[in-house]
Amino acid sequence: MKKHLLSGILAAVLVVGCATNPVTGKKNLNFVSNSELFPSSFQQYSTFIAENKVITGTPDAKLVETVGGKIKKAAEKYLTFLGQSQYLTDYRWEYKLVDNKEVNAWCMPGGKIVVYSGILPITQNESGLATVMGHEVSHALANHGAQRMSAAQLQQIGGAALGAATSGKSESTQQIFAQAYGLGSEVGVMLPFSRSNETEADKIGLTLMAIAGYNPDDAIAFWTRMSAKSGASGTPEFMSTHPADATRIANLKSLIPEAKATALKVGVIR
């Protein structure tokens, strides 16, 4: 009896916790509103910036600012085209280059973008950097952070701890924020969820890139270089939070025509 009751409550929570994302048009699991998520995001970002070396005044730092500004304008133009311009009202855009040898970049919910210097030898040029920054901004626009946090909340529920999903969310947000941006914990559950996020961010990122005036075909060159960097001994796809390089490149090639067509409808930024 208790098992059936709990299953019914879980089903109800899942229904209530689904929200339609204005960028993708899809209903996704989401218990965490931007009004709750953004303050935590900005706090995490501020802490990171204070504890790491931000590069300023160099050509690379200026390029990050330039590309970030173009991607921001592209996002605003795209959301206006979708009739969702209000969606970005609470965004507080920043673009920082950080001295770190790791091949990485990220965008926190609310528009805080960090590019690690270690990825620049692979981006190589402005369009390569636009590929990365467009992709990372797309994670934020598609609310992937909130979705991962909501999924993590459900994992924490277990059996009897159902109330954790619907109350005390501020404390819960702090506890699982890092987990939401890290590796999933279960093969077949969190990992495919993360891979679907990556593919969705690729699609939106190509569109932003095209609207910003970059050629989305250049994304193929970047991911080919990334594939060469990771090498043949990379993590198997079924154990990875990202699609295999060959899968990603094939997906990108199929998505590029749509990205170009959408950019023509929206209007390319010059």
Give catalytic residues, as residue numbers: 136
Q: Tell me which H or E stretch contains 116.
A: strand 112-116
Q: What letters, b where the CB count within 10 A reaches 16 and e where it falls short, cover 106-120?
A: bbbbbbbbbbbbebb
Which residues have C-beta within 8 Å of that of residue 34, sequence separation ≥ 6? 90, 109, 110, 143, 146
Say if residues 98 and 117 touch (Cβ distance below 8 Å): yes
- Find tokens 């855009």 and name the residue: 93
Phi-psi region of 111 (alpha: psi -120 to 50; beta: other; left: phi over 0): left
Residue 136's identity, in one-letter code, is: E
